[in-house]
Structure formats: C-alpha cells, structure tokens
Structure 1
Amino acid sequence: MAKAVDLSTAGIHVGYGIETTTGTKPTTFTDLPNPKSIPDFNPEVGSYDVTSLNDTIWKRYIDGLKDPGGALAITFGMSQMFLDMWEALCDEYDTAKISNKRMWLEFYHPRLTKAFYFTCVPARLGWAASDVDNAWDTSISVTPTGEIGWDDPIVPTEPSEEP
C-alpha cells in the first residue's frame, strides 16, 4: 500500500462561475486572484436525541443536518483589480438571479483529482481592516445555498485585466 503524502496549500485556486443554464453547474470558472485564506468548510453533522423511556444505559442519537454556519469569509489580497472584479461579479450575479441562475464557487488544488464546489450568494465589499506597515487584505462574504460537495475539477481561467 502506498503511503499518503500530505499536501501543502501552495497552488490552491478559488474560482467562480455563473450558471448559463439554470440549475446546472457552469463549465468554466474564472480565477479570483490572490486568495490568502479559506475557512474550514467541513461542518459536523448535527444529531438528534431519540432516547426513549425504555433505554436504561445509553442515550441514542440519529444524524441531523450539516450546518456550514451561514456566510463564509474568504480572504484575498486587496487591489484595484480585485475590487473591480468583485464588483463586476456581484453585478453579474444580480443580473443572473433574475433568471434564477446561481453563482458557484470552486476550491481547486492542482494535486487533487476532485475540486470542492458550492452554490452561493455573494455580498458586496465594504472597507477592509487596515494596519500600519502591512499587506492589505480583504475578506469577501459568500453565503452557501446548497449543491455542496466534491466533483471533477474545472481549472479556473485567469481573469483579464479588464473586469
């Protein structure tokens, strides 16, 4: 049996796509530049106590739902290109949702045979925290809406200089 080799986070990409056909995952994703931090998206399964009065030693439980915890904050390096791109993405989503089309995010690692996908609603950016003598990062907020899981990767394409 081959030994598992742990991966580094080097090379991870975050891509987005807007459905062209309602209810169908996009076939192309655009790379969001300079991701710095992706939150844990591996929620525990809830559980429900189904212990009855007949039980005398142990409580019994059944699985409930997974809760991603609401909006996720994903950190990126701040730049005019990123701000313009995120605003254009939010505009594109606002137009698409009129036709019941959704936005998808993809977390892609080049050494994995699957990518992680989910549908979401993006929120517009506010002002990011600023400190003296630091790189300026910003966090986008996306709220997962379903269709969460692993699937074949679609390598995100680099964004153009124009949003």
Structure 2
Amino acid sequence: MGIAESLGAETPFASVAASELFSLDLSKTEEALTQAFHRSIGVRIKAEAEIIEGEVVEISIDRPVSGGSSAPSGVAAAGKIGRLTLKTTDMETVDELGGKMIEALGKEKLQSGDGCGLREGDQAWPLNWEVAGCRDYDAVCPQTKSVKCPEGELQKCEEVVHCVNLT
C-alpha cells in the first residue's frame, strides 16, 4: 500500500493477495488475474475546452407565451431563450442562451456582480467572488471574497485531463 500512495492518486494500482489467485481451477486464476490487470490499466484523456469567464453584468430570460401549461418542465425550459452579459476589464459581450444553459445558471443562482464560468455542453459554475456588490455594504460575511473585475479575454482555452481505468 505504501507503493500505491507514493505513485499518486491518479496512478491506478491494484493490490492482489496470493490467496485470491491460488486455485486448482485454472479458469478462476485467469479471471482473477484479468480483473487485477483491468484495475491496473489507466488511460489519460486530454481534451481542450473553450471556457468563458467574467463578471455577470445582466441576465435576461425571455419566456415564450404558450397557450397551456400542460407541457412538462423540461419541455418548457427548452423553449426559453435569454441573454447573458459578461465583462472583464478589457471587453464585454452579450451571449445568447438556450434552455439547458438557462437551467444551469438557475441551479447555480448567479446574479449580477457574480463571477461566472461557462463551458461547452451547458455547464455553468460560480467563480466564488462578488465584484460589484461588495462596495455597496459596510459589513460583509466572512465567506465573501472580494476580487476586482477579471482582466484579459473572456474566452480562454483550458486543457482538461480525465483519468480512466478499465473497471
């Protein structure tokens, strides 16, 4: 186990006891060895993802007028369209949003003044800082991190590494 810890968390390691492998039946031994090898083989998948990070200036959601409310919530959310305005010190953009991205922003409860990150595939996350709102109040809770407006480009290319084993 000491060897497994020294290799690191991302390196697959399977410890096998001799009692697991010893059998008079050859097929059981082969199966145990095959499973141990599958647990020990790891694959690293590197991918580049386009992300957008900035301060939320405005979120506007347009709900279409529908005749009845008999549609399921997923169908109703798919009909929503909206706009998200993000800014950094260098630039400001207005992006069109689809139903899934509107749902993702709603789950994170992002508001104007929050830091926000967006990734392809309808993923949104808060950047854990409030930019505009912290100057308006005398007292702020200890968990609030006050950071100035982000600098540079809104759109960045980030390398994401996924470690997968064959279990």
Scaled by the length of structure 2, the TM-score of the pair is 0.20
Q: Between Structure 1 and Structure 2, which shows a larger proportion of helix residues?
A: 2
**Highest CA radius of gyration, 1 or 2?**
2
Q: TM-score, normalised by structure 1?
A: 0.20
